[in-house]
Amino acid sequence: MVRPGVEFVRLALDAMGTDRAPEPEVAGAIEALEAYDGNDIEIVLVGDEQAIRAELARHERIPPGIHVHHAPDRVTADDSPASVIRRKPESSIVVGLRLQAEGEADAFVSAGSTGAVMACSLFTLRPLPGVDRPPVGTLLPTAGELCLLLDAGANIDCKPQHLVQFAHLGSIYARDALGRAKPRVGLLNIGEEPGKGDDLTIQTHELLAVEQGIRFIGNVEGRDIVKGECDVIVCDGFVGNVLLKFYESVAGYIVALLRTELDKVPDRKVELDHVFRVLDYAEYGGAPLLGLGGVSIICHGGSPPKAIHNALTVAARAVRSELVRHSREDLPILS
């Protein structure tokens, strides 16, 4: 999937996104560059230059490939997402995305306000032809491999053709960024048979069943998600968002239950690191915005360095595999 010509990658990282910015961003960027051994990757930390340089100074060794791009302003939780592009044009989100639009970077990664990153990405990177509603994807841990669920909250009240677009965009992302050869696509529904569901899922099933260019495996129920039989699951953004937030909290709840029990045993012999790792969202690579003329990946506001590192890795992979070109070429013009 990797085009030989796209070896060198330049990633713009919003350094002001996390709750503890710029500490996790700087640490994650350094960790990423060290892991890649500095080869063919550059990371541009976008944000308050003074704060970023102060944070960099706390690290013993700065690998080559780290750059800083000053952005004086910062988006906060109080900003209305839709107004950021107009009211905070010098914020790290807008500046970071602009670098990509102007060809100075190949991808943008941010742990800032999800709504603001979505709105600004949409405005700056623009939807590709054939994409009415760019969706946001999220990676869910399963008994098999990670499953890309989309839309995870960008679009509520979807129409059947939107879900068909999600199926295409998800398939291309699963192939290019996740390395799945022939991604299996499921439609989230409340029954297995084709006639089950609400108007949206019944009509979407009819469309997906005859759609070319995707490998549709039919309806999947809530209980099927963790089985890992799908690479991509499509649903409208309301259901996807509820599910995503629920999964995160359930995993956290169960891990908390476990820790309470484990803490009662001082000389414990059970190592549950593996379990915790499977449920640890920091392992996964952020939530990609799909169907845009560029790469934009959103991380949690609470992301530790490892999560930033992973999102950068996914972003680099998306760039190298030419996700955007494939999305442009492979997506049928449906609407």
Integer angstrom CA distances of residue 86 from 75, 81, 124: 12, 10, 12
Complex with a copy of itself: residue 226 or 334, whichever CB lies closer: 226
Using left for φ > 0, alpha for ψ between -120 and 50, and beta otherwise, residue 173 falls in alpha
Q: Which of 17, 288, 280 is nearest to 152 (CA)?
A: 288
Integer angstrom CA distances of residue 79 from 86, 88, 91, 137, 262: 11, 9, 11, 23, 42
Q: Which two tokens stand for residue 195?
A: 């006639």
Residue 149 CA to residue 121 CA, distance in Å, equals 20
* Interacting residue ranges for a copy of itself, rule: CB under 8 A: 142-143, 153, 156-157, 188, 190, 197-199, 201, 221-227, 235, 237-239, 241-254, 256-258, 261-262, 265, 267-272, 274-275, 278-279
Asked whether the CA dihedral 305, 173, 176, 220 is positive or negative, the reply is: positive
Complex with a copy of itself: residue 62 or 242, whichever CB lies closer: 242
Complex with a copy of itself: residue 39 or 249, whichever CB lies closer: 249
Complex with a copy of itself: residue 214 or 239, whichever CB lies closer: 239
Which amino acid, one-letter code, is at 99? L
Helix (H, G, I), strand (E, B) or coil at 265: coil
**Could you report how far apart the first and last alpha carbons of the chain are, in Å?**
28
Rounded least distance, CB 237 to a copy of itself, Å: 8
Rounded least distance, CB 105 to a copy of itself, Å: 31
Rounded least distance, CB 159 to a copy of itself, Å: 13
Complex with a copy of itself: residue 286 or 305, whichever CB lies closer: 286
Rounded least distance, CB 221 to a copy of itself, Å: 5
Complex with a copy of itself: residue 122 or 200, whichever CB lies closer: 200
Rounded least distance, CB 214 to a copy of itself, Å: 21
Rounded least distance, CB 84 to a copy of itself, Å: 17
